[in-house]
Structure 1
C-alpha cells in the first residue's frame, strides 16, 4: 500500500482530474463514487474475512467475503451509484479486506470522493481519495491484488413452497438485535404464516432463554410472505457479524426455507439516495 504517491508521474494515472477515452482504454476498470461513507460502511460490514473477491461487470460492482463454508457476505453496488463507471468485460481480483478498510478509513469522518483504477491481472487496485472541503489534499493508495477466488454458490429456490420472505424496517430490526442477550450462544429464528409470525429466541449461558415476537401486522413489517412454518438455529457469533450492515440499513429482507439457510439483504441508501446492498448467507446449526 502506497500513501500520497503522485501516481500520474509514475505513468499509472495520466490525469487525476479527467480521463479521456483513450486513457480509459489503459484500464480494465475505472469507477468514481462521489461520497465514500456508504461504501465504507459496506466494506466494514464485510471485514470479517481476510480476503474479498471482487467481481466487476456491466451489472455492477460486487465484493464477496467468506468464513469457511458457514457464512458468506457480499456488497453489491449498481452502476447507477457511480458518477463514473467504465469496465472492460468481466474484471476479477481479490484483495486484503483490512487494507482497503484502512485506506477508506483515512477520510471516513468527512465528505470525500473515491476514484478506483485497475489495469488488469496482477496490477494493484489504485484508489484516489479527495475530501470535498480540502482542495489541496489528495491521497492515493495502491493495494496489492491476488488471484480471484470463486465464492461458494449459495442460493434459495424462489419456487420452493417452503420459502418465506419478510421485509422489515432496518432501524426497528437493529433495536431488536441490540436487545438480545450478548452472551447468547445460539439464535433461533422462526417464520410462520400463523402466530408468532416472526420470532427470535436466544439460548445463552446456563441454558437461559429469551424470546422476541413481531406480528405480521406490526408497523415495522414492510412485507410479509410466509408459506410454511420454518425454524432454524444459528451460531450467534455469525448473526452478530451482520450488525455493522444492520446499523446503516434502511430496510432488511429476510429469507429462509425448510433447509434453514438464512439469507439477509441489507439495503443502504447512499448520500444521493441510490441503494447499495449487503447480502449475508448463514448456514444453520447442523445438529438442530
Structure 2
C-alpha cells in the first residue's frame, strides 16, 4: 500500500523527535507526501510533513492509508546508527493491520538492520484543516530570531501572552512569573520579518510549555510563520531546508483565553 526510500535519515530523525509529545503518532501517506501527526488531548497538535520529492522513491496505492505507530520506537530505529550521515532508509506498509517494515542501511560499513513496528488501525479519524482557522493575523520571520525571543522570556512562567497589533509594537510576547513580567517585541519592518499581516488587534494567552515544544525544531528551521484566528488558535509553521528539498513542521495550540 505504501513504500518509500530516504537518504536524509538524520534530519528526518531530528524532525520527528521534535514533535514526539505523545507516544503514538498517526501516519498518513498521501500522494503529495507523508504526514506524521501527534495530538495532545486537543490542546496541541504537531505534524511533520515529508513531501514526496524528499524521497528517492515513493509510491502509494490509494489516498485512504492511515494508521498509528509508536513514535518513540520509530525515532529510536532512525537513530540506530547514531549521528552518522551515511545511512539510508526503506520503509513499507503492505496492508491494513500489517507492521511498518523498515530497513536501515549503513552504506560505508555495509550493515543492514531490518525492523518491524506494530501498527494500529484507525477507523474514525478527523483531520480538519486547522490552517484555515488561523486566518486573521500572521507574521513570518527568521526561525533563529523567534528562538531568541522565546529564550529571552521568563522560562519558568506558566503562561505567555501573544499580541498582534496594527500599530507599534506590532508583535509582542509577554510572560508573568515569580520574578515579575518579561516581554519582547519585534517590529514589522525588521530585517528578520518577511511578512506581517494584522487584520485586528488580538491578545491571547497560551500555556508556555506547549509553545516551548517548538524550540526543539527551531534549530533546524529556516523560517517560521506564526498565525492566529478568531478563536485564538495559534499556528506555527516551520520550513526546514534539507539539501535541495524542504520539510515542514506545524504546531497548532489552543488558547487558554483571550483578553481585550
> Which TM-score band (shorter chain)?
over 0.9
Report if the CA contact (8 A) 2:103-2:112 is conserved. yes
State the match for 2:228 in structure 1: 256
2:120 alignment partner, SS class: coil
Match of 2:256 in 1: 285
Aligned-pair CA distance for 1:273:
2.3
Residue deviations 1:197-247 (CA, integer Å, cap 9, x gap)? 1100012236x2100010011111111122211110100111111111222
Equivalent position of 1:95 in the other structure: 69
Shift of 1:179: 2.1
Matched, 1:34 2:7: yes
| SS in structure 1 at match of 2:13 | helix
SS of 2:80's equivalent in the other structure is helix
Counterparts of 1:156 and 1:259 in 2: how far apart (Å)? 12
The CA deviation at 1:69 is 1.3
Q: What's the Cα RMSD here?
A: 1.7
Correspondence for 1:128: 103
Contact 2:10-2:79 at 8 Å conserved across structures: no
Instruction: Quote the residue 1:224 is aligned against.
Output: 196
Alpha-carbon distance in structure 2 between the residues aligned to 1:158 and 1:98: 30
Number of aligned residue pairs: 256
* Deviations, residues 152-193 of structure 1 (Å, cap 9, x unaligned): 535244795xx1111110111112212222201101111122
Ranges in structure 2 where 5+ consecutive residues have no aligned partner: none
How far apart, in 2, do the equivalents of 1:46 and 1:52 lie?
A: 9
Aligned residue for 2:204, secondary structure, equals strand
Conservation of the 8 A alpha-carbon contact between 1:64 and 1:151:
no
Quick check: 1:189–1:231 contact (8 Å CA) kept in 2?
yes
In structure 1, how many angstroms separate the alpha carbons of the residues matched to 2:44 and 2:88? 31
Pair 1:115-2:78 in alignment: no
Instruction: Trace 1:1-288 onto structure 2 (pairs within 5 A).
Output: 28-90=1-63, 91-111=65-85, 112-134=87-109, 136-148=110-122, 150-151=125-126, 153=128, 155-157=130-132, 163-205=136-178, 208-270=180-242, 272-286=243-257
- The alpha carbon displacement at 1:132 in A equals 3.4
- Within 2, Cα distance between the matches of 1:204 and 1:154? 34
TM-score, scaled to structure 1:
0.84
Alignment CA distance shift 1:103-1:96 (3 Å): same
Structure number with the higher strand fraction is 2
Change (3 A) 1:171 1:287: closer
Whole-angstrom distance in 1 between the partners of 2:245 and 2:91? 19
Residues in 2 aligned to 1:66 and 1:158: alpha-carbon distance in whole angstroms? 17
Does the 8 Å CA contact 1:66/1:151 hold for their aligned counterparts?
Answer: no
Runs of at least 5 residues in structure 1 that lack an aligned partner in the other structure = 1-27
TM-score scaled by structure 2? Answer: 0.93
